[in-house]
Structure 1
Amino acid sequence: MSRRLVLLLAVTCAVAVGNLYFPQAVLPLIATGLGVSAESASLVVTATQIGYTAGMVLLVPLGDRFRHRSLLVAVLGLSGLALLGAGLAPALPPLVAAGALTGLTTVAAQVIGPMAAGLAAPDRRGAVLGTLLSGSTGGMLLARTFGGTLGEQLGWRAPYLVASAVTLLLAVVVALAAPVTTPTAARRPYGELLAEPVRLLRAEPELRRSCLYQAAVFAGFSAFWTSLALLLTGPAYRLGAEAVGLVALVGAASMLCTPAAGRLVDRHGPGRVNTVSLTGVLLAAAVMTAGGAGGASGMVALAAGALLLDVAMQSGSVANQARVYALRPDARSRLNTAYMTCAYLGGTAGSWLGVHALTRFGWPAVSTVVALLAATALVRHLTPRRHHGTAPGHPAPVSAPATATPAAAGPTAAAPAAPAPVVRSRRGA
């Protein structure tokens, strides 16, 4: 994993994740341009998110069956074409269909994660994953600015067309620059690959543990950000929707923190980073509670709480992914499907909990939801585990061979782990 390759993969993650978020910024422009209501235009975003969830389930496991480069080029190419179709859509129904196809194929970041985990040296895996997560975070933060600014200047179709061109260009660059890896499950039937994430959840205690941590923290993260828009536009602040975007910019600091968190994972193992990140979420919940009072002091509390929460969530995500990818080198894409599906289910539940807590009990209830979710994960993290010889919060380092991980005590221990993907030259491809 050269620095140039890591940078290319991080940029690809940023573009792929950004393609999921920029449509949110142009919804009013879509409504005006197509002559539909804002509620009808929101179907574009809904369809994109539904497509993305389906893509994680249906396409990401194929990373174990096909060469990562081939799969990555395919999903980037299809995503670029879907974005082109959206930019040329003459009416809302074709645009919604193109949005669903865009979401379905915009899974490049989830293909890159297992690919990079196999290519990186074990003692650098955390740092590489942290850099890739920084790219994804940057794409998420900048996408709305990109979509809104370009849409205001050139119309709602412009962001789609520009995103299509960039995505198709990346497909060409990846085809030329990415190394070729050997698939670990080339002969496995597609149906078995789809069912495997559920079996892995049953068989791998460390996978379940990582899924619990990320689902709980991402639920708290979603509860905070979903409720924040209602708080800032409500009677406590009476601000416009753009205030949410300004608060969101403080999350840019997490782009600098995640590579550092990755290096800590490489040095100390994921358990200690999980301990710090979950404690950080509890601290964030305490700080953001004062945001319900309104005024300048309340805004400072919200910004500080948002920063702590974002850094803690991203750092914990690096630790969780490093632990997950170390379990089964022969099934990293299927492990990632299980992990990301649990995380997004947690985020969906958190959005619902946050809105209902705010509307029924006020802003302190949102902070309580965030704290309770983090406390649940932290208690589980610090509870001694009967099936593991390591101390609570200090699992085996991710640099240990897959056959020596604590998860080897599970049902999969009987089968020897397949070797990590082999990088082959272009001539050998």
Structure 2
Amino acid sequence: ILLARTFGGFLGEHLGWRGPYLVAAAALFALAVLLGLVLPRTAPTSSQRYPSLVAAAFILFRDEPELRRSCLYQALMFGGFTAAWTSLALLLGGPLYHLGGQAVGLIALVGAASVFCTPVVGRLIDRKGPDVVSPLAFFTGIAAGIVLLGGGLGGATGLLALTAGMLLLDIAVQSGQTANQARVFAIRPDARSRLNTAYMTSVFLGGSAGSWIGVKIYGHWGWPGVCALIAAAAIIALARHAVKIYR
């Protein structure tokens, strides 16, 4: 996922904005054929019909407060994440930088280094639990919003700030994802697929909303407004976490 942003930026620069979608469609078709040939046949573990299985995910969301809390955390963080990446393309392509999609891809390539934080975070969760890692992710998200403000300076200094800020934001989102899924999967080990359905649905709804809101904010208040949105999303998540911990 992280490296796909770099590859997509390269394709968009050389093939136009339709290029990444066409390549993705072809790759998914080839993958579907390959999986159909090599995956073993398995018997269903449940006799429930698919609609009832989907409905069960929403019932779990209604009944499990820890699931709702984890969904809120990552929906907010992923919303800030998508707002940043959507608006970054507008910033780099605008009059301040005059750069294309390939520049976005190069910044994403640096951000891919955040993958190395996941094993460290996982070990910390094993020792201390996810509620220790979640606030660290939120503070990192707030720091990312502050560092990204430097992107409005333009030039080499602005690009350095954008690269560092996006790396911090990637680390925040990856760390939060690891903590939230550890919390969610511990709720009911017998229903992990349904729990994950509810969780990931919430996360991507938050991401979709963040991308849309980010563009709207960029149009009205520019890049500083987007940075404020990133920090605000992390602050809301941190406030909710404080209510849980100190209640």
Partner of 2:221: 361
Matches for 1:234-313 after TM superposition, within 5 Å = 234-313=94-173
Q: Quick one: distance in 1 between partners of 2:27 and 2:85?
A: 28
Residues 269 and 292 of structure 1, relative CA distance in 2, 3 Å threshold: same
State the match for 2:40 in structure 1. Answer: 175
Per-residue CA deviation, residues 138-167 of structure 1 (Å, 9 max, x unaligned), is 4x3465279679979xx9977755654455
**Distance change in 2, residues 1:285/1:150 (3 Å):** closer
RMSD: 2.8
Return the alpha-carbon distance in structure 2 between the equivalents of residues 189 and 170 of structure 1: 23
Shift in CA distance, 253/345, structure 1 to aligned 2, threshold 3 Å: same
Q: 1:340 aligns with which of 200, 214, 226?
A: 200
Whole-Å separation in 1 of the counterparts to 2:50 and 2:134: 34
Distance in 1 separating the partners of 2:93 and 2:9: 20
Structure 1 letter corresponding to 2:222: G
Per-residue CA distance 1:173-230 (angstroms, 9 max, x = gap): 5539xxx7983xx133433212112211111010000000000000000110010111
Tell me how far 1:266 sits from its aligned partner. Answer: 1.6
Cα distance in 2 for residues equivalent to 1:324 and 1:219:
19
Q: Distance in 1 between matches of 2:78 and 2:111?
A: 14
1:378 aligns with 2:238: yes
Contact 2:75-2:207 at 8 Å conserved across structures: yes
| Aligned pairs, number | 244
Which of 53, 58, 66 pairs up with 1:198? 58
How far, CA to CA, are the matches of 2:224 and 2:27 in structure 1? 42
Q: Distance in 1 between matches of 2:32 and 2:131?
A: 36
Larger Rg: 1
Classify 1:141/1:257 alpha carbon distance in 2 versus 1 (closer, same or farther; 3 Å). Answer: farther
Aligned equivalents of 1:163 and 1:354: distance in 2? 29
CA distance in 2, matches of 1:172, 1:250: 36
Q: 2:191 aligns with which of 327, 331, 350?
A: 331
Deviation at 1:260, TM superposition (A): 2.2
Contact 1:151 1:158 in 2 (8 A): no
Whether the aligned pair in 1 keeps the contact of 2:142 and 2:234 (CA below 8 Å) is: yes
Specify the alignment match of 2:81 in structure 1. Answer: 221
Which ranges in structure 1 are unaligned for 5 or more consecutive residues? 1-135, 385-390, 394-429
Q: Could you tell me how far 1:284 is from its partner in structure 2? A: 0.4
Classify 1:209/1:163 alpha carbon distance in 2 versus 1 (closer, same or farther; 3 Å): closer
Seq. identity, %: 50
Confirm or deny: 8 A CA contact 1:275 1:381 kept in the other structure: yes
What's the secondary structure of 1:238's corresponding residue?
coil
Q: Is the 8 A contact 2:118 2:174 kept in 1?
A: yes
Three-state SS of the structure 2 residue aligned to 1:299 is helix
Distance 2:59 2:193 in 1: 14
CA distance in 2, matches of 1:227, 1:145: 14
Contact 2:53 2:194 in 1 (8 A): yes
Aligned partners of 1:150 and 1:158 also within 8 Å: no
Give the C-alpha shift of residue 355 in structure 1.
1.0
Aligned pairs (5 A) from 1:12-91: none
Q: 1:190 to 1:168 in 2, by over 3 A?
A: closer
TM-score by length of 2: 0.87
Distance 1:353 1:340 in 2: 20
Name the structure 2 match of 1:351: 211
Q: 1:73 matched to which residue of 2?
A: none
Answer whether contact 2:79 2:207 (CA < 8 A) is retained. yes
Q: Between 251-260 and 208-217, report the one with greater CA deviation.
A: 251-260
The question of 1:144 aligning with 2:4 is answered no
**Hey, what's the Cα distance between the residues in 2 that align with 1:158 and 1:201?**
36
Evaluate the alpha carbon distance shift between residue 150 and residue 362 of structure 1 in structure 2; reply closer, same or farther with a 3 A threshold.
closer
Rounded to whole Å, the distance in 2 between the matches of 1:158 and 1:295 is 32
- Shift, 1:311, TM fit: 1.0
Q: Which has the higher helix share?
A: 2
Q: Distance in 1 between matches of 2:11 and 2:150?
A: 32
Q: 2:55 is matched by which residue type in structure 1?
A: A
Aligned-pair CA distance for 1:289:
0.7
